[in-house]
Amino acid sequence: MKILVINGPNLQLLGRREPEIYGKLTLEDLEDQLKQVATALSVELEFFQSNHEGDIVDLIGNAPQNGFSGIIINPAAYTHTSVAILDALKGAGLPAVEVHLSNVKSREDFRHHSFTAAACVGVIAGLGFDGYEWALRSLVKILNKND
Ligand code: CA2
């Protein structure tokens, strides 16, 4: 089972800026933490970070033929703006879980609405890196049920 992990714009800055909001750990630290969980669950992960909406749309669109069974996505700022990513997720038809490091509901009003969540089986926000781990565990459970 192969799961695609997508991180959207500016998340390459993790651990380098705004540690009071996003923590001190880097994107590489996140990937290492998730790989350990994936090994324990016997699933394969592929990581992708992009600052470009179209690249994310292409990646999601190609995910089914590239053999992915599910998607974990932190669309970052595109969460609040992108009908294109929403449509790509719907079109791909794979179970997806949306993750946010911060509790978007406790932040500015413009972060309260997610366009992309409507195409996801669930959303996890405010748990930092652990949110990705719970997303992975839930996705694997969902996919195993679908077998
Ligand atoms: O809480 C999250 O994970 C967000 O998706 C992060 C986005 C923000 O626009 C969403 O509202 C919530 C921002 C990602 C920017 O990441 C940075 C990381 C470190 C330093 C600066 C930006």
Q: How far apart are CA 112 and CA 105, in angstroms?
A: 5
Residue 132 designated active-site:
no
pLDDT single digits (tens) 62-81: 999 999 999 999 999 999 99
CATH number for the domain spanning 46: value is: 3.40.50.9100
User: For position 116, what pLDDT does the model report?
Assistant: 99
Domains in the chain: how many in total? 1
Note down the domain range covering 9: 2-146
Residue nearest to atom 6 of ligand 1 (CA): 76
User: For position 104, what pLDDT does the model report?
Assistant: 98
Ligand 1 mutation target, pool 12, 22, 109, 110, most atoms within 8 A of CB:
22
pLDDT at 137 over 90: yes
pLDDT single digits (tens) 33-65: 999 999 999 999 999 999 999 999 999 999 999
Residue 67's identity, in one-letter code, is G
Residue 22 designated active-site:
yes
| pTM beyond 0.85 | yes
User: For position 8, what pLDDT does the model report?
Assistant: 98
Q: How far apart are CA 135 and CA 106, in angstroms?
A: 20
User: For position 147, what pLDDT does the model report?
Assistant: 66
CB 100 near ligand 1, within 6 Å: yes
